[in-house]
Structure 1
Amino acid sequence: MKILIIQPKLEQNITQLEYELRTNPTADAVLFPEGYLNENVEQACALAKYHNKILIGGYRRLNESPKDRAILIDRSGEVVLDRIKYSQTTFKSIEGLKIGHMLCDELVLQGVKNEDTSGIDVIVHPIGVGMFSEEQFDEWINEARKIAVAYKAMIIGASHADGSFRGSGVSIPIAYCFDPSGNAIFISKNDVRTRMLNSAAKTVSFVD
């Protein structure tokens, strides 16, 4: 599977996602950050169907607490995973891959939270804003590596290109991928270029 990893800026619409779908026709799936879709889920479903792509990330329901939700939309434009943050980790089989979905600080607060963790192929990790310190960056990277090894699964994460946590004034955009042995396929700090990951070949390349 070819997975496009994007780090858009926060926006009220999903113009950046539309652009990436239009200009990267060979991708099978697109991973985007937590909360990026905002309230544009219906539009995202239409885009997934039109471009024949799997969309993986997060969105917000502003009238709920916590407001953030994990979402996975299949190629037909159907929402096949929709769960509230901090609830039990959900797995879905998509095109032969068992995919687990963590949101942002679930990585360090609860990890993979499910009794049935057998046979996981990929864990996706949409992150909200960037890291607020170098120490947090290192902590999250190390925790992601541990999870990859523990569950013998590839893990992929990406944050927005901008934004800071609770007005900290610091935002270090983060993206990464570890293979099931904990080897880094890539680790990105302050580099928000779009990437194409070939999950079968375990290679990554930049997309212009």
Structure 2
Amino acid sequence: MKILIGQPLHEDKIEQLENEIKSNKDIDFVFFPEGYLANEKALVSAREIAKKYKVAIATSYKRDNKNRALIINNLGEIVLERAKTLPDENIKLYGPTSINIDGCEIGYLLCMEILKGRRDLEIVKEHMDFIVHPIGVGMFSDEQFELWISEAQNIAKAYNTMVIGTSHADGSYRNCGVSLPIAYCIDSNGEAIYISKSDTRTRIVNLTSKEFEIK
């Protein structure tokens, strides 16, 4: 399986998503950040694109101005959809936290949910092929960047699976003015296949060989 990992700019339409798919026709799975689909109209368009190009899509979309988890299969069907877990540490991850697509078990952590992953992903099936971690905007400090990468590495080792994360190329947390766009791919041993800070180029990861290319 080839996974395209994008770091788009925020947009109301989904031109960047379709352009990436059209430019990389051998991909099977597209992974975009939290909230890339700005509204339910964009969600409808994304389902049409998934069906048209026969690719699965993992991202999130906004409904009532709140981000919701989302995976669409290559038939354009929504196979995972749920609310984002509240940040209170006493609240466990909302389910579902994984979905099976054509025999491939995919875990899902939405943005700050990464901080609950080691504790709460125990509810998913025994084996996962990889976990996607859509992030809204870049990190607001080097310390946050290192913390989230460390959590991803710990989750990868704990569940013996690959963890992939990506954020938008623009925007900042609560408009603080500081943003370190982040993208990463950690293998099942917790080792980095790549870690990107403020480098917003598209990556394509081959799940079988664990190799990647930069577009």
Q: How does the TM-score come out when normalised to structure 2?
A: 0.91
Q: Tell me what 1:3 maps to.
A: 3
**2: distance between equivalents of 1:173 and 1:183?**
20
Q: Which amino acid aligns with 1:62?
A: D
**1: distance between equivalents of 2:175 and 2:52?**
38
Alignment: residue pair count:
204
Q: Which amino acid aligns with 2:171?
A: G
Structure 1 pair 59–163 and aligned structure 2 pair: CA distance change class (3 A): same
Aligned residues of 1:101 and 1:125 also touching (Cα < 8 A): yes
Q: Tell me what 2:106 maps to.
A: 99
Once the two structures are TM-superposed, the CA of residue 10 in structure 1 deviates from its matched residue by 0.7
Choose which of 54, 57, 66 in structure 2 pairs with 1:55. Answer: 57
Once the two structures are TM-superposed, the CA of residue 62 in structure 1 deviates from its matched residue by 1.8
Deviations 1:60-87 (A, max 9, x none): 1026xxx111111111111111111112
After TM superposition, the structure 1 = structure 2 runs for residues 8-87 of structure 1, keeping only pairs within 5 Å, are: 8-39=8-39, 40-62=42-64, 67-86=66-85, 87=94
Instruction: Kindly report the root-mean-square deviation, in angstroms, between the aligned alpha carbons of the 2 structures.
Output: 1.2
What SS does structure 1 have at the residue aligned with 2:105? strand
Q: Percent identity?
A: 49
> More deviation in 92-101 or 50-59?
92-101
Choose which of 131, 135, 160 in structure 2 pairs with 1:127. Answer: 135
Aligned residues of 1:132 and 1:165 also touching (Cα < 8 A): yes
Q: How does the TM-score come out when normalised to structure 1?
A: 0.94
Q: Which amino acid aligns with 2:102?
A: E
What SS does structure 1 have at the residue aligned with 2:123? coil
Structure 1 pair 116–194 and aligned structure 2 pair: CA distance change class (3 A): closer
Choose which of 183, 186, 191 in structure 2 pairs with 1:183. Answer: 191
**1: distance between equivalents of 2:161 and 2:189?**
8
Once the two structures are TM-superposed, the CA of residue 113 in structure 1 deviates from its matched residue by 4.0
Q: Tell me what 2:147 maps to.
A: 139
Q: Which amino acid aligns with 2:201?
A: R
**1: distance between equivalents of 2:193 and 2:180?**
19
Once the two structures are TM-superposed, the CA of residue 18 in structure 1 deviates from its matched residue by 1.2
Q: Tell me what 2:208 maps to.
A: 200
Q: Tell me what 2:170 maps to.
A: 162
Deviations 1:153-208 (A, max 9, x none): 1000000001100121100000001111111100000000011100110011012x
Once the two structures are TM-superposed, the CA of residue 89 in structure 1 deviates from its matched residue by 4.4
